[in-house]
Amino acid sequence: MSQHTLSVIVEDKPGVLARVSAMFSNRAFNIHSLAVGPTHVPGRSHITVVVDAPELEQLKKQLHKLVNVIKVTELDSTEALESEVMIARIACDPVNRGEVGDTAGLFGAKMIDLAPNSITFEIAGTPEHLASFLDHMKPYGIVDLVKSGRVAMKKISDVARMAVGQT
Amino acid sequence: MTQKPYTGSHSLLQSLEHEGVETMFGVPGGAILPAYDPLLDSSIRHVLARHEQGAGHMAEGYAMATGRVGVAMATSGPGATNLITPLQNAKMDSTPLVAITGQVGTSAIGSDAFQEAYTTGLAMHCTKHSYLVTDADEIPATIHEAFHIASTGRPGPVLVDIPKDVLNQHTQWSTPTLAGLPGYKPPVSQGHPRQIKAAIEMIEAAERPVLYVGGGVIHAKASAELARFAEAANVPVVTTLMARGAFPDDHPLSLGMSGMHGTYTATTAIQRSDVLIALGSRFDDRVTGDVAAFAPNAKVIHVDVDPAEIGKVRVPDVPIVGDAGLVLQALLERLATTRDGRPAPEREAWLGQLGVWKAEKPLRYDQPDDGPIKTQFFIERLHAVTGGDAIVVSGVGQHQMWASQFWGFSRPGTWINSGGLGTMGFSVPAAVGAKAAKPDELVIALDGDGCFQMTFQELITAATEDIPVKVVVFNNGGYGMVKQWQNLFYGGRLSAVELGTTVPNYPQLAEALGCVGLRVDHPGEVDAAIDKMLAVDDRPVVLEVVTDLDEMCFPMVPAGGSNDTIVMGPEDL
């Protein structure tokens, strides 16, 4: 089962998120992550949803059938700008605290809370970046972790277009 | 006396009148109470149902008989939850419906107030769309949008939930627009020209084509275009349960209904087809049987107004999104261009083969002279006596399949049933709704005893509201179809399927409900009983037909089986 990212523009009305998630459960689609927030356009919200599904056609069509859904775009990972915020609490003691802090620093993680037996970091980036960070933190022990859900937008830069073989 | 202020309730009624509503069906209650006051001064006829489920099915019957939006109204809480079955029924069969429900006051929402239910949440799963109105000024636009959504694209049910304080709020009416629907764009297209061309080339080259026609053709009111296309392309026609009447059964190209209880010829024609043209049909499991074994050698052209249906079950070779009527017109035009005066392919071998199957494997039953009455026999006699000139409304089960099989349909809008959801109890209230819509037509409910016992209280509605429907109750003393499955698949161990044949006493019950009650239990007396039933014009009639208790419905493809394994009768078991 592969992961797909969908960018969904919806009307900013009560119950819209419930309708979208109800459709997913109705049709037995599995949501991996979901993030929702307002856009720069009044009355429009943006939902980024990451799903585990063998194919997306049926899912996209069912989303389109929802009256409050305005636009659905599938984001291929090679042409998407993706980011996620994570807060992770890493176990450490005064002896290895410096080492943990240095390693986290290499990833651009920011210390936001410090306790005798742990450091809590805030880190933002692509899913791969966060995964790599966690790989390096695992040996110390991950005490707690929370993710915001992925947000994504389509790339439009020349670099991005060249990367997918367009001219 | 001071003039009453104009409130949300007045706006609601004016909005319904603005949408052209003439008849609606409902049951009052606390939260919807304000709406029932201006109803007294409205041009709209309100039919007082005895249960909200009945009101919902009446609105469906009304919609299916007319093609217009049916309207049901109920109060909050239990009133709304009782509407859930009709809403899901309408969703499955794409019936245009608008349901209006009262809601507890805005400030009480979420407090578990008396008769509170999260109606829009419940409706989320069984409507095309739903609204909670929080400002009376929004009522005209909301009702206008609701009717637009219910009746366009693939039709369906829309629910509008209005809190009591909003119904009482001072407001004014304003002419509504559809400006508030940026995300709703139902396809009105006649299909992409390239796909139309590809479809025609495929159909013209086909040796064994079949048109597999669904309810979408009824909704699109495209029966005339269908007949023209079938004849021009010389392609035989299978009609699904929802499409009965879309193509005349006595047409030489008609094969009847296919699927689990379809005719041998219709089901087998699809199995053997090389090009299958699905027109407003959705590859329902009752049609396909085992999907992997369905029409294994066919290239598929799928025409549907709902893009999500295309590729949902079977990936087509030529997908066409569009209105069935417009697409048929485009296909006809393209066919004429491609032919350029050449005659239609004769398809002698294929049409000949279908003729052989029709002759060798017809629908059949045995009616012993001394009884018991077979339901199939009664339906054939009823058709003969009435000339088939009636709107037939069925419940769900064996009698429904027999009605579909043995009533020769000649025009659309004359077959009303619960197809997708299979809602037992649909028949009586839906017939009341159809008769309210078409008072000059003969409306006959063909019901089973099990179904009848679920909703017969709506005969009180029929009697008191002067809606003289005819209701035939086929009494085989139980849930015939479930019993059939227990006999076939559970070794004859009958569990909770026998209702008995003597209680209730149907004619006496009918009389108590304000109807004429009749009974027939001998095949020789069937015609006389039908005459008696038809002679009553001023009241609803219930005719109990005491039938064979053990008759089974054939042909039959066991659930999930391949459509190549058709059981023609008990001898095949």
User: Tens digits of per-residue pLDDT, A112-160?
Assistant: 999 999 999 999 999 999 999 999 999 999 999 999 999 999 888 755 5
User: Tens digits of per-residue pLDDT, B284-334?
Assistant: 999 999 999 999 999 999 999 999 999 999 999 999 999 999 999 999 999
Q: Which of residues 1-20 of A touch B (CB under 8 A)?
A: 10-11, 14-15, 18-19
Q: How confident is the model at residue B375 (pLDDT cuts 50, 70, 90)?
A: very high
Tokens of A128: 């791969």
Strand partners, A107: none
CA distance A90 to A142: 5
Quote the pLDDT of residue B3: 74
Residue A6, pLDDT > 70, answer yes
For residue B283, indicate whether it is catalytic. Answer: no
Rounded to a whole number, what is the distance in Å from the CA of A22 to chain B's nearest CA? 7
Give whole-number Cα distances, B215 to B242, B279, B419, B557, in Å: 5, 9, 10, 22
CA distance B204 to B235: 10
Fold equal for A2-75 and A82-152: yes
User: Tens digits of per-residue pLDDT, B147-172?
Assistant: 999 999 999 999 999 999 999 999 99
Contact A50, A83 (CB under 8 A): no
Q: How confident is the model at residue B126 (pLDDT cuts 50, 70, 90)?
A: very high
Length of chain A: 167
Is A2-75 in CATH node 1.20.1440.230?
A: no
- Partner B contacted by A70 (CB < 8 A): yes
Stronger pLDDT, B517 or A25, i.e. the higher one: B517
Quote the pLDDT of residue B567: 94
Rounded to a whole number, what is the distance in Å from the CA of B68 to chain A's nearest CA? 21
Catalytic residue among B19, B24, B25, B52: B52
Residue B213 is inside which H or E element, if any? strand B209-213
Contact A4, A74 (CB under 8 A): yes
For residue B147, indicate whether it is catalytic. Answer: no
Mean pLDDT of chain A: 90
Contact B451, B427 (CB under 8 A): yes
Strands B237-239 and B254-256, by their bridges, are parallel
User: Tens digits of per-residue pLDDT, B68-90?
Assistant: 999 999 999 999 999 999 999 99
3-state secondary structure (DSSP) of residue B11: helix
Q: What is the dihedral of CA B417, B419, B424, B429, to 10 degrees?
A: -30
Query: Which among B158, B282, B312, B315 is the top mutation candidate for probing chain A, defined by the most A β-carbons within 10 Å of its own β-carbon?
Result: B312
Residue B347, pLDDT > 60, answer yes
Rounded to a whole number, what is the distance in Å from the CA of B424 to chain A's nearest CA? 23
3-state secondary structure (DSSP) of residue A98: helix
Quote the pLDDT of residue A156: 84
Of A14, A18, A67, the CB nearest to B184: A67
- Partner B contacted by A66 (CB < 8 A): yes
Q: Which residue of A has its CA nearest to B120?
A: A15
CA distance B333 to B195: 13
For residue B92, indicate whether it is catalytic. Answer: no
Query: Which among A39, A58, A59, A63 is the top mutation candidate for probing chain B, defined by the most B β-carbons within 10 Å of its own β-carbon?
Result: A58
- Partner A contacted by B308 (CB < 8 A): yes
Please report the domains of chain B, with CATH numbers, ordered by start residue.
Answer: 8-168 (3.40.50.970), 193-360 (3.40.50.1220), 375-554 (3.40.50.970)
Tokens of A127: 């899913």
Using the beta-carbon criterion (under 8 Å), do B308 and A26 form an inter-chain contact?
Answer: no
Catalytic residue among B91, B128, B164, B470: B164
Of B124, B149, B184, the CB nearest to A18: B124
CA distance A77 to A3: 10
Q: Can you give the pTM of this predicted structure?
A: 0.94
CA distance B80 to B53: 9
pLDDT above 90 coverage of chain B, percent: 96
CA distance A17 to A48: 11
ipTM of the complex in this document: 0.89
Q: What is the mean pLDDT of residues B498-512?
A: 97
Judging contacts by C-beta atoms under 8 Å, the chain A residues touching residue B125 are 22, 26
Q: How confident is the model at residue A167 (pLDDT cuts 50, 70, 90)?
A: very low
**What DSSP assignment string belongs to B146-196?**
HHHHHHSSS--EEEEEEEHHHHHSB-------STT-TT---------HHHH
Q: Which residue of A has its CA nearest to B154?
A: A65
- Partner B contacted by A165 (CB < 8 A): no
- Partner A contacted by B306 (CB < 8 A): yes
Q: What is the mean pLDDT of residues B382-386?
A: 98
Q: How confident is the model at residue B480 (pLDDT cuts 50, 70, 90)?
A: very high
Quote the pLDDT of residue B392: 98
Rounded to a whole number, what is the distance in Å from the CA of A141 to chain B's nearest CA? 42
Judging contacts by C-beta atoms under 8 Å, the chain A residues touching residue B311 are 57-58
- Partner A contacted by B311 (CB < 8 A): yes
Residue B510, pLDDT > 50, answer yes
User: Tens digits of per-residue pLDDT, B209-250?
Assistant: 999 999 999 999 999 999 999 999 999 999 999 999 999 999
User: Tens digits of per-residue pLDDT, A31-60?
Assistant: 999 999 999 999 999 999 999 888 889 999
Rounded to a whole number, what is the distance in Å from the CA of B472 to chain A's nearest CA? 37
Residue A162, pLDDT > 70, answer no
Of A14, A22, A69, the CB nearest to B183: A69
- Partner B contacted by A64 (CB < 8 A): yes
Q: Classify residue B91 as exposed, middle or buried by CB count within 10 Å of its CB (0-12, 13-18, 19+).
A: buried
Q: How confident is the model at residue A161 (pLDDT cuts 50, 70, 90)?
A: low
For residue B481, indicate whether it is catalytic. Answer: yes
Residue B570, pLDDT > 90, answer no
Of B121, B311, B312, the CB nearest to A18: B121
CATH number for A82-152 (one of 3.10.150.10, 3.40.50.2300, 3.30.70.1150, 3.40.190.290): it is 3.30.70.1150
Task: Give residue limits of the domains in chain A.
Answer: 2-75, 82-152
Say which range, B83-87, B176-180, B273-277, B523-527, has the weakest mean pLDDT.
B176-180
Mean pLDDT of chain B: 97
Residue B231 is inside which H or E element, if any? helix B223-233
Of B121, B125, B307, the CB nearest to A61: B307
Rounded to a whole number, what is the distance in Å from the CA of A53 to chain B's nearest CA? 14
Residue B177, pLDDT > 80, answer yes
For residue B195, indicate whether it is catalytic. Answer: no
- Partner B contacted by A39 (CB < 8 A): no
Residue A164, pLDDT > 60, answer no
Contact B145, B181 (CB under 8 A): yes
Query: Which among B103, B109, B129, B145 is the top mutation candidate for probing chain A, defined by the most A β-carbons within 10 Å of its own β-carbon?
Result: B129
Residue B10, pLDDT > 90, answer yes
Count CB-CB contacts under 10 A for residue A121: 22
Residue A166, pLDDT > 50, answer no
